[in-house]
Structure formats: structure tokens, C-alpha cells
Amino acid sequence: MSSFALVVTTSPIDNKTNTALAFAEQLLADGHILKGIFFYQDGVLNANKYVQTPSDELNLLTAWAEFNKKTSTPLHLCYTAGERRGLTDSDDDQFNHNIHPAFTISGLGELVVLTCAASKVVQL
């Protein structure tokens, strides 16, 4: 079996994000090791706990959080990409902490660690 690192660069409204989640679930179902998932570029928007999803669509925030809870797979969020897109972990009066707790705030160094630890890297 192989070990994988997954890099998600697509927003929660992009169909590729559904594919990334399904791919991650299938990797584990097939017995592979998933070292972690790194959310980068527009992928960081998947961690915004204030995104509203229509009732007839898959709520990817909830789906990623459930995946994390069920599998203990780390969900790393690029902090710099998040800041550029309005995500913050600040509780300052002028900001609202809007990052879902299932996500771990990380930097690009964590991406390097993940890719070095995995035998295969897949970006969606």
C-alpha cells in the first residue's frame, strides 16, 4: 500500500472539491495511508465556518469535519492563503474567528513535511 498527501486548491463550490473528498475516502477504504490533507489557494475557503450551503447541496465543511473526526486525518490550512481570503483565528473585536476547529492552521513548511512523508502527492 502507498502513502499519500493530498493538496486541495479548489473552493467548496468547485466540483473538484467533492472529488478530493471522495478520493480521500477511497484511499483509506482501499487500505492506503493518508498522511494529511493540505488546503491551499482557494482550497482554504473549505475551512470557513460561515459559508452557507444550500440545503440541496453537500455541505463540504461538515463533510470535511466528519472525515477528520472519523479518520483522524489532519486537515492543514495554509494560514497565509487563508488571510488573503478573509480567514482569521483572531478573537480581536474587529475580527471574528471563522476557521472551523477541524482544521489546523499551518504554513507551507507543513506542506513540505507532508510531501516528504508520503510516497505520492495528489493535488486537486
DSSP string, 57-117: S--HHHHHHHHHHHH---EEEEHHHHHHTT-----STT----B-TTEEEE-HHHHHHHHHH
Q: What pLDDT digit, counting tens, does each position of 58-116 carry?
A: 899 999 999 999 999 999 999 999 999 989 887 666 667 889 999 999 999 999 999 99
pLDDT recorded at residue 93: 67
d(CA 119, CA 115): 8
Residue 57 maps to which CATH number? 3.40.1260.10
Question: Which active-site residues does the annotation give?
Answer: 78
Percent of the chain residues past pLDDT 70, beyond the cut: 96
pLDDT band with cut points at 50, 70 and 90 for residue 25:
very high
pLDDT recorded at residue 79: 94
Counting the structural domains of the chain, the total is: 1
